[in-house]
Amino acid sequence: MGRKFFVGGNWKCNGTEDQVKKIVDTLNGAEIASPDVVDVVVSPPFVFLTSAKSSLRPEIQVAAQNCWVKKGGAFTGEVSAEMLASLNIPWVILGHSERRALLNESNEFVGEKVAYALSQGLKVIACVGETLEQREAGHTMTVVAEQTKAIEDKVSNWTDVVLAYEPVWAIGTGKVATPAQAQEVHKELREWLAKNVSAEVAETTRIIYGGSVTGASCNELAAQPDVDGFLVGGASLKPEFVNIINAATVKKNA
Ligand SMILES: O=C(CO)COP(=O)(O)O
């Protein structure tokens, strides 16, 4: 059984109510690959999550972009995993590099968040990735292995985890990783999982690529054996997101 292709659209802190409606209308009217071959998950900002969920066609799921590390309580401004679960929000993105860099989320904190979200029944898109400086110093695999280990340390079941490799230098820069660069890290991450978790988790866990993916670059990336889908930022706000979803058919025929 192959790994089902997975395409996430991370809308980040973008969109007004009208813009969200337009994106939803575009997705609802588009010809997209069957849910048998691709999981599609879009991630609007919190305030639009429930309206997007109820207006999107049923085969497109939603993800929150973050949640609190533990049970909710006196944590002003935070949203807890149990709140998301109570609204039947199935997915949450955790450990995005923007939160690691701008909000100082450490590897350990991200690991704790992933474990807590899973314990509340959410599925997690967990992000890892190196900076340009780390890549140029030859530390890419050490960095992503440390980030992944901090998750593995807290998590006992990987079934509901999708791992997103998002090199920081490729995010929002227009500098997409080459298919060979993406494949190299995905393959090494899969080997890391085989060695440090289990052969089964390595074989079944989807490892998706994020960083300046566009309609033009998606097919070649999708053809790489260890690229199981994408986490898309900027292009997920545009009609070309449909082409990226449909890269799943390239994968299927590869
Ligand atoms: O951060 C990303 C998705 O989470 C990628 O963003 P871009 O596709 O805009 O580079």
pLDDT at 250: 84
pLDDT at 62: 98
What ipTM goes with this model?
Answer: 0.99
H or E element at residue 128: strand 123-128
Which CA distances in Å does 68 have to 57, 79, 100, 207? 28, 6, 14, 24
pLDDT at 184: 98
Measured distance CA(223)–CA(212) in Å, rounded: 17
DSSP code of 94?
E
* 251 Cα–ligand 1 center, Å: 21
Measured distance CA(33)–CA(57) in Å, rounded: 13
Measured distance CA(245)–CA(157) in Å, rounded: 27
pLDDT at 1: 57
Which CA distances in Å does 102 have to 2, 23, 73, 139? 36, 27, 24, 21
In this structure, which topology does domain 5-253 adopt according to CATH?
Answer: TIM Barrel (3.20.20)
Parallel/antiparallel/unpaired status of strands 91-94 and 60-64: parallel
129 C-beta closer than 6 A to ligand 1: no
Task: Give the pTM.
Answer: 0.98
pLDDT at 98: 98
Cα-to-chain-centroid distance, residue 12: 12
| Each residue's pLDDT tens digit, 109-132 | 999 999 999 999 999 999 999 999
Question: From the candidates 98, 105, 112, 166, which is the catalytic residue?
Answer: 166
Tell me if residue 47 falls in helix, strand or coil: helix
Probe residue for ligand 1, chosen from 66, 125, 213, 244 as the CB with the greatest number of ligand atoms within 8 Å: 213
Largest Cα separation within the chain, whole Å, is 51
pLDDT at 251: 81
Low-confidence ranges of the chain (pLDDT < 70): 1, 254
